[in-house]
Amino acid sequence: MSEHTDDFTRAKLPAKTIAVEYYAGFVPFIVAMLFPLFVFISVIFFTSKMANRSEFIAILASGVSLGRILRPYVIGGLLLGVILYFANYYVLPRANEKRTKFEAKYIKSPLQDVVTKSIYMRVDSFSYCGIRYYDTAAKTGSNFFLDRVVDNRVVYNLRADNINWDTARKMWKLNSVIERTIGELKEDVRYHQELYRNFNFKPLDLQRDEYVKSRLTTPELTRMIALEKLRGSESVKELQMEKAHRMSTPVAVVILTLIGAILACRKIRGGSGVHLAMGIIICAVFILTDRFSTIFSVKGNLNPYVAAWVPNVVFAFVTIWLYKKAPK
List the pLDDT tens digit at each of the 328 positions of the chain: 777 878 788 878 888 888 888 888 899 999 998 999 899 989 988 898 888 888 888 888 898 888 899 999 999 999 999 999 999 988 899 888 888 888 877 776 544 456 677 788 888 888 889 898 888 777 888 999 999 998 888 999 999 999 999 888 889 999 999 999 988 888 899 999 999 988 888 887 776 666 778 888 888 888 888 877 877 777 788 888 889 989 999 999 999 999 989 888 887 776 667 777 887 888 888 888 888 888 888 788 888 889 999 999 999 999 999 888 887 7
Domain match, 100 and 247 both: yes
Task: Check whether residue 62 and residue 156 sit in a common domain.
Answer: no
Residues 104 and 158 in one domain: no
- Considering the domain boundaries, does residue 115 fall inside one? no
- For the CA atoms of 280, 283, 285, 288, what is the dihedral angle to 10 degrees? -130
Cα 320 from Cα 18, distance rounded (Å):
46
Q: Which residues pair with 150 in a beta bridge?
A: 153
136/194 same-domain check = yes
Beta strands in the chain (DSSP E): 115-122, 127-135, 140-150, 153-166, 171-182, 187-197
Kindly state whether residues 70 and 12 are assigned to the same domain: yes
Q: How far apart are the first and last CA of the chain?
A: 47
Domain identity same for 101 and 237: yes
Q: Which residues contact 2 (CB under 8 A, 6 or more apart)?
A: none
C-beta separation of 73 from 24 below 8 A: no
* Mutual angle of helices 92-102 and 24-52, in 10-degree steps: 130
pLDDT for position 115: 63
Instruction: Point out which residues pair with 133 in neighbouring strands.
Output: 117, 142
Judge if 95 and 128 occupy the same domain: no
| 11 shares its domain with 154 | no
The residues near 122 (Cβ < 8 Å, ≥ 6 apart) are 128, 230, 231, 232
Residue 220 lies in a domain: no
Compute CA distances 22 → 27, 106, 215, 219, whole Å: 9, 10, 14, 25
| Residue 214 counted as domain residue | no
Q: Are residues 25 and 79 in the same domain?
A: yes
pTM: 0.73
Provide the number of structural domains found in the chain.
Answer: 2
H helix or E strand, kind and range, residue 208: none
Q: Which domain holds residue 161?
A: 124-199
